[in-house]
Every structure is written in C-alpha cells, then in structure tokens.
Amino acid sequence: MRTSSNEGFTILLFLSSLFSVSLVSEAADTITTVQFITENETIVSADGGFELGFFSPGSSNNRYLGIWYKKLTTRTVVWLANRETPITDASGVLKVVNPGILVLFNGSGNIVWSSNTSRSVHNPVAQLLESGNFVLRNANDDNPENFLWQSFDYPVHTLLPGMKLGKNLLVGLDRHLSSWKSDDDPAQGDYTFGMNTHGYPQLITDNVTTVTYRTGPWNGLSFSGTRNLKHNNTIYEFNFVFNREEVYYGYELLNQSVVSRLVLHHNGILNRWTWVDRTQGWIIYCSTPTDNCDYYGSCGAYGSCDIANSPMCGCLDKFVPRYPKDWVMGDWSNGCMRRTPLACHKGEGFLKYSRVKLPDTQKSWFNETMTLEECGKMCSENCSCMAYANLDIRGGGTGCLLWFGDLIDIIEFSTGGQDIYVRMAASELGIHGTNKWLVLSTADEARLDFAMVYKYWICVIGYMSPEYAADGLFSVKSDVFSFGVLILEIVSGTRNKGFFHPDHYRNLLGHAWTLHKEDRSIELIDPTSKDSCCPPEVLRSIHVGLLCVQQHPDDRPSMSSMVLMLGSEGSISLGNVEETGICIPVLLKEREREMSRDCAMLEELLPLESIGHMGEDYTGTLDRSRFCSTYGSPAQEGSVNNITDIAASGRGLPILGFCHSMDEIMLGRSCFCNSRLLRSFSYKSNC
C-alpha cells in the first residue's frame, strides 16, 4: 500500500469521481468504476460473514476504511487500509478507478490511500470475498492468480484462515503481521511477526531490531518450538510451504462453523482467538509467548530453559555458566560456555539432546534429501559446524540442518520437541577422547536427556568438586570426583548430601575416609547388601572411590586409570588415599543456609555426565555368578546397545554403567548382585 502525492493524478482521480453518481446497492459484495462507498455505505461478502466500510476504533474519532466480522455482536476489525493516514471527519470515499486502482479520498478530494497496482485491465471491480479477502480484479476473471491486488497480501495485525504469512521470493512481497499502537490507534506499533529467511526459515516476533519470540524451524508437522501448535487437532489444519517461489505459513479451518483469528497485539503477544456463540464473546485458544522460556534467548548461548524448573535456566551438559556469580543471581543473559574449548582435533564428536526446541536457525545451512548419518558426517568435517539435526521428523527423519555459531534459544520440553546433536571436544566424550562414560539416575525420566547439574550447582554440593565449589574451576578431574561420590553412595546405600552419623559430624566422604584409615571400610557397606556381595570387590570399589574424591585434583586418578583399577581384579596396586574433599559442606555451610529457602523446592539431581533415553520400567534379579565379575556386551561404533544388566541397591539408589572400550561395556561390581533391577537403558554408543 502507498499514498500518492502526485497532484495531477489526484485531480484526475477526483474529477473522475464526479461522474460516479451511483452508490453501492444494499448488501452488495462488489463495487465498480461507476460506484463508490461513502461513510454510510458498506459492502458485505456473499455469505454475510464479512463487511467493509468506515469505522472508528475504540474511543478515537478518526475514520478508517476496514473489514470486520458482520454476524458477530462485537465489532472485530481484521483489516484496514489507511492505518497511517486517518480521515479526521466523516467524509471518506472509496472508489475503483480505471485502469484498475483502489483509491480512498478525504473530504477535500485528497488521496489518503491507494492500492499499489502495477497492472491494468479494462473493466476493474473490487470484491469482498467470503474469506474476508478484499480483491481488485477484472470483472470477467475471478482466478486468484490474476488478481490485480488483494488485502490478504497486506495483512495488518490479524491472520485469517487462507492467508499466507511469509514471502514471495520472486517479487519480494513480504506478508507479515504488525501490531497496532493501541486499541484506539491502528497505526503500526512496535511489533511485527513474520517469516525470517536468514538460514532455514522460521517465524519471529521482533521489536524494531530485537527478536522477542521465535517459533523454531518447521519439522514437517509443526514448528519445533510451538507447544500450542498441535498438528493433530480437530479445528485447524496448519501448513508450511517452502520452495523456490515462496515460503509461507498458513492454516485452514477443518470446521467451517468455527470463527477463529490469529492476532498480534500491541504488547507483542500472539493470541489465537475463537468465537463462542453461547457467551457471545471471544476466548483465547492459545497464546505465545506462553511463559518466560518462550522469550528469545532467555538463557543465553548454550543455555536451556525449562519453565518447570526453578531456576528455569540451566547449561547444556558439558557447558558451565560464563559468569557464575551473575548466573546464581538470576542473570542468565550471558549464557554458558564450553567446559573444554573446541580445537578441531580428531576425535571430536556429538552429544545428543532430546525433546528440545531447536536453536535459532539464522546461521544455519540445510539440505532436504540427506540422511541423518550424512548430515552428521558433513558437520563433523566442518570445524565451524556446532550442531546438526533432521530437517523433517516424519517417517523416521529426513533432511539435514546444520548450525554455525553459538546455539541460542533452546527450550527443554517434557514431551514433543526434537533431537539435536551438539559438537563436543574429544575429552568431553570419554576416555582419551574415544570413549564415553555414563552416569544415570533413577530420577525423573523427563530430565535424563539433559544433564542439568549446573543448574543446581549451589544446591547439589554433595557431588561438587572442591575446586568448583571454591573458585568455579572445572577440569576432567571434576568428573572423577563426582563419580567417586557416586561409588561411595552406592556402596553405603546413603547419599552424601544430608548424610548423618550419630558419632560425628562428617559427611559421607569423611566417614568413609575415617573407616578406611582405621581399616574398617567393610562397615561402610549397606547392611542389606552385605550377604550378597563379594567383600574384596567392595573394598576395592571403596578404595577407588576414595581416590577419586581426594581434596586436590592432581591426586585423583584419571578416568582411564579408575576404570583399570575397578576391572583389574587386584592385579593393579592402588595408591594411598590423601585427604578427601570433606571440607565441601563445611566451606559452604553458610552459603547453603542462605540458599536453603530458594533450594527448598528443588529436587536433588545427580550430576548426569552423559545422556540417553530410558526404556520402560521392569523388575528382576541378577544372578550372583553373572554379576560378581565384569561383564561386557558387543558394541560396535554407531550401533544401539541395550544395557539391561544395570542394577542398584534395593533402596532405589542411582544405577551406573560406562563404556570401557570399543567392544566392551563395563556394568557393575559384585556387591550389587541379587538387587532389584530398576531400568532398561537404551543407548546409541559412540564407543
């Protein structure tokens, strides 16, 4: 749309209007070159659903040419022409002028708005269609492909069924929503909602230059970040078209009796409204942003958001807050950084994250025909590629989407979402950069695909290494410390956090160290497991656990050394245990007390050092003869392995397992035989 300032053209059009002496007939849906619409005249679509005429919004006295629902008791405007140039009195006139232009005059004969028609016809007419689309066409040609102009190409703040929200890539037409300034002023407001075509297309809401909301890319069924966009509903049929000519999103009504519209409000909120005849009013079917996680980049780069958690932001597994002090205070805008920087070395790989809103695709590359395996290979060969995922999740997944640059605006869902594979340094993938170790918990299954330990770095101090608790420092030995805590917890049947002993005030680590020094480590074993375990194996596990939780990182064994110690059956000598990290609860006692109110509602999570998808629950027992030594199962690179021999004590403590080599999976130790089998774990091995 545009407003003409050509004086000669204005005079010509005004003079031509003097010969148009015929008003539109009542209830007509069309005007011709010999008809016009004045303040007291309207046209109505053939089915009586929509009406076009002049109106004043809210408490304003300004007059606008617009379209609204005809049959509803509440006037609801869905489109208007002269939003930036209101008529200040009741003198507006709309005309169709040869060779095919819509023109709106004020009382002084000045043009306040006109259609930007580039083609001409001999007999132009303007018609209000049953869809609510106001079109300019040749009187003898109702083919939509030949329309001279249509209001659906120039939406304001409302998207109706049948409209296209997107871009015509051939002519550069951009169909987007733009908010009103207020309920009384329909001039363009602060927010727009439209298709962003940088990288793979996605719909975004922006406020001038700042993105405030993003749908995520289309995955074949819906946009990956739209929890409210249900593709299997009985009201709407959503569609997304992307080809060489155009890219757009739209929807159709499956039930034509439903009256529905999508509106971008002046506060940047998108509401899908539905009319209810019983109450004679509108109700909100869904709204976005839905919550604080929906606002763009709430948790910064490499952060993930889960509104069900408190705080809602956490770092992806193997990432830590960029500024820990700001993070604890609730400022997550700076996001997270890699615990181990990438160096494009051989051995780098990817960690899988499931049920997520895919990151911002403005710096992405895509291919519609590649397989996921081909996609991963291409990403691995490009050191600038940070992640990859399937483009289309239907039928098992097809296509390839690659990310270059930081991963921003990730949301963790309890259901739905997609899988994404994030690039990691070789050292983060396991032993010597070639193997991966797993630490799994019987915690809520919905959390297992995200290792959210850093979200609770103050509250779960029982698994935190001393160097991180004191200075926020991470190293490969931090993982070793956490693993050592888990070993001691499994053996003892108690948790480090909250451990209490009637004879002293030490935590579990201090208690285990004291028993070890006094050569009484056998007393640490969970009484319910003493009769079913092999004492030498248990004592060796305790010794290894204590080596892992030593105060100074340099004193702790490497992960590979620890694995060899556990699997050596006594052939490898274990070193002496120096001071353990028992100072953690003492150093943080005051801080823990200060945080207790905020942490009271948080469920204590284990530091899950790797990820996977848990299978269905089942119970069973393990034969002592099978479990009193190390067992492996065939595992080839890239294959899927079912780890079913993972057990824990009858108290429901964590279960664990880890990849040892290319062809073996280490499971447990003998003291855990005859215990209750908690879960089946299915894991795509990178070993």
Domain boundary assignment for the chain = 25-152, 155-290, 303-428, 458-587
Averaged pLDDT, 518-529: 87
Are the C-beta atoms of 651 and 678 separated by less than 8 Å?
no
Task: Assign domain 155-290 to a CATH class.
Answer: mainly beta
pLDDT in tens, 146-192: 999 999 999 999 999 999 999 999 999 999 999 999 999 999 999 99
Tens digit of pLDDT for each residue in 562-580? 888 887 666 566 778 876 6
Instruction: Say if 25-152 and 458-587 have the same CATH topology.
Output: no
Amino acid at 294: D
pLDDT tens-digit profile of 624-664?
A: 222 222 223 333 333 333 333 333 323 232 333 322 222 22
Per CATH, the architecture of 25-152 is what? Orthogonal Prism (2.90)
- Mean pLDDT over all residues of the chain? 77
Residue 583 has pLDDT above 70, yes or no: no
- How much is the average pLDDT of 362-389? 95
Q: Which of 68, 112, 114 is nearest to 88 (CA)?
A: 112
pLDDT score at 644? 31
Closest CA to 138 of 153, 152, 154, 149: 149
Count how many residues are written for the chain.
687
Q: Which of 2-6, 49-53, 227-231, 682-686 has the weakest average pLDDT? A: 682-686
Annotation: CATH topology of 458-587: Transferase(Phosphotransferase); domain 1 (1.10.510)
pLDDT (0 to 100) of residue 48: 96
Q: What pLDDT sits at residue 423?
A: 95
Burial of 375 (0-12, 13-18, 19+ CB in 10 A): buried
Q: What is the mean pLDDT of residues 498-510?
A: 77
- Concatenating the DSSP letter of every residue in 646-675 gives ----TTT--EEEEEEETTEEE---GGGTTP
Q: What percent of the chain has pLDDT over 70?
A: 73
- Across the range 104-124, mean pLDDT stands at 92
Q: Report the C-alpha gap between 128 and 150 in whole angstroms.
A: 10
pLDDT greater at residue 85 or residue 564: 85
Report the pLDDT averaged over residues 454-479: 61
Rounded distance between C-alpha atoms, residue 60 and residue 183, angstroms: 9
CA atoms within a 13 Å half-sphere pointing along the CA-CB vector of 394: 10
- Which residues have C-beta within 8 Å of that of residue 48, sequence separation ≥ 6? 70, 71
Contact call for residues 493 and 651 (beta carbons, < 8 A): yes
Which pair of structure tokens corresponds to residue 315? 């770092």
Token pair in block for residue 450: 């995200």
pLDDT of residue 632: 31
User: Which band of pLDDT confidence, cut at 50, 70 and 90, is reported for residue 20?
Assistant: very low
Residue 254 has pLDDT above 70, yes or no: yes
> What mean pLDDT comes out for the span 525-552?
86
Q: Indicate the helix (H) or strand (E) that contains 512.
A: helix 508-517
